[in-house]
Amino acid sequence: MKTRAAIPILAVVAIWASPAFPDWRDVPDVKGVCSGGPCGNQSGGSSSRQQREYVPPPPTPGSIAYGHGERGRRFQKEGNWSAAEQAYRDALRSDASSYNGSIYWYQLGYSLLMQDRWSEAESALRQSIAVRPGYHYAHMNLAWVLLKLGREKEAEEEYLAAMRLDPGDVTGSQGALIDLVGKRRKDIDDKAFKRAFDLEDPVQSEAAWRRYLLVNPGNSAAYNNLGVALQGQGRLLEADAAFREAARLDPQDAKAKQNLAGLKSREGYGEMLALAQAANFWGQLAAGNKNEAMKWMSMQCFDTGCSYVSDHSTAIRLLAPAAPSSKGPEPSPAVRNDPVIAGLQKEKQALDNKYKQSYEALKAVWDAKERGKGDKGALDILEYQHKNELTAQASAIRTAEIKIKERKDKLDLGVVLPGQ
């Protein structure tokens, strides 16, 4: 066990401590060999003493390559990239497949990329990686070259490879990846902004800006444009809130300030504010009231974004599913025995259950937001999704209720209906 544990460490130490090739300058300055006795310490003039002669060791491929490599490094320092390229090519003729060989391939790739010779650089860097797959710098430079060649997807894979091989991020692969991914994200944002900007219908425009803001909540221009879309629908108070948010996000935003001033100067704006306060009052009243009419009003508030319901707790109460209606007059036998009514009520019950589930889900998202736990952007998207589903479900429930009521009324009047 002791030996096994020591093996990797010893291997690391051995690689680190030994030079890549023998250094012949350490060979003793001795010419020839002494025969028949120890060299040195012999008495002068002895006939047995032989002439000492220097015999340099034969150069190895590694040492030859190393010499060329050193030359290449000097040229690199001087910025002479074509001479450096030639020196590394010379080095690779002697040693192309060792650990040092991977460095010569890498340096050749670097010298080529410094000459904007991207395809040749790619080939050299790939050779370097083939010799040493864990060479993170080679992956980094290959990514750079691939970007220059317009092959972004492949570049991304190389950045990812470099990042995985380099947890300490000495290569800067993380920043490079963030830039690359951020650029893609910006392209999507820019296109979405333009699409929203080109929409003429204020309702569609509002929806597009709300989606844009969902993933770009700090964009003051988008808030300003949302305000314009709301103003176009006559929803001045919500437009006011949007312009204010734009100005808050960017105090230098002259357009938002101008739009806000324009809104305030409109006739009836003061009355509008008073109405908003009243609406907030009625909204809060509805929250504590199970009256269906109040509930309807609160749903209207929800449909328009509930901009005047400032706190979640009020909104939660406003949106709470209606309590089972108190027992009214006993339904007539015709209504009670009508299979269509039974079917419609079953459908409505299913819709009510779905609504309750979506409402609980929305509440859970708001709770998570208030706890400040998790990715806020992800929770915003989840909230948006649940709100959309709640709106659609509320509308489906209203349609079902209307259908039931219409059929009940007709049955009570004694009309013979299909399905009876």
Partner 1 sequence: MMRRLILLSLFISIAGCASAPAVPRVAGAYGDLGKAKLVLADDSRGAAADFTRAIELDPGNAPLYVLRGMSYRNLGDRQAAEADFKRAVSLDSGLEKAVRPFMP
Positions that interact with partner 1 (CB under 8 A): 2, 5-6, 8-9, 12, 163-164, 167, 174, 177-178, 181-182, 184-185, 188-189, 191-192, 211-212, 214-215, 354, 357-358, 360-361, 363-365, 367-368, 371, 373-375, 377-379, 381-382, 384-386, 389
Report the nearest approach of partner 1 to the CB of residue 361 (Å).
5
Report the nearest approach of partner 1 to the CB of residue 201 (Å).
18
For residues 147 and 286, which CB has a smaller minimum distance to partner 1 in the complex? 147
* 350 phi/psi in degrees, rounded to 5: -65, -40
For residues 301 and 365, which CB has a smaller minimum distance to partner 1 in the complex? 365
Report the nearest approach of partner 1 to the CB of residue 92 (Å).
30
Let me know: does 333 contact 367? Beta carbons within 8 Å. Answer: no
Spatial CB neighbours of 159, under 8 Å, sequence gap ≥ 6: 139, 140, 143, 173, 176, 177, 180
User: How many Cα atoms are found within 13 Å in the side-chain-facing hemisphere of 203?
Assistant: 2
For residues 90 and 157, which CB has a smaller minimum distance to partner 1 in the complex? 157
Let me know: does 122 contact 145? Beta carbons within 8 Å. Answer: yes
For residues 161 and 341, which CB has a smaller minimum distance to partner 1 in the complex? 161
| 3-class secondary structure, 412 | helix
| 3-class secondary structure, 64 | helix
**DSSP for 99-136?**
HHHHHHHHHHHHHHHTTT-HHHHHHHHHHHHHH-TT-H
For residues 204 and 300, which CB has a smaller minimum distance to partner 1 in the complex? 204
Spatial CB neighbours of 128, under 8 Å, sequence gap ≥ 6: 102, 103, 105, 106, 109, 135, 138
Let me know: does 149 contact 122? Beta carbons within 8 Å. Answer: yes
Report the nearest approach of partner 1 to the CB of residue 28 (Å).
37
Report the nearest approach of partner 1 to the CB of residue 52 (Å).
46
For residues 219 and 231, which CB has a smaller minimum distance to partner 1 in the complex? 219
Let me know: does 257 contact 289? Beta carbons within 8 Å. Answer: no
Report the nearest approach of partner 1 to the CB of residue 353 (Å).
10
Let me know: does 316 contact 301? Beta carbons within 8 Å. Answer: no
Report the nearest approach of partner 1 to the CB of residue 316 (Å).
13
For residues 217 and 331, which CB has a smaller minimum distance to partner 1 in the complex? 217
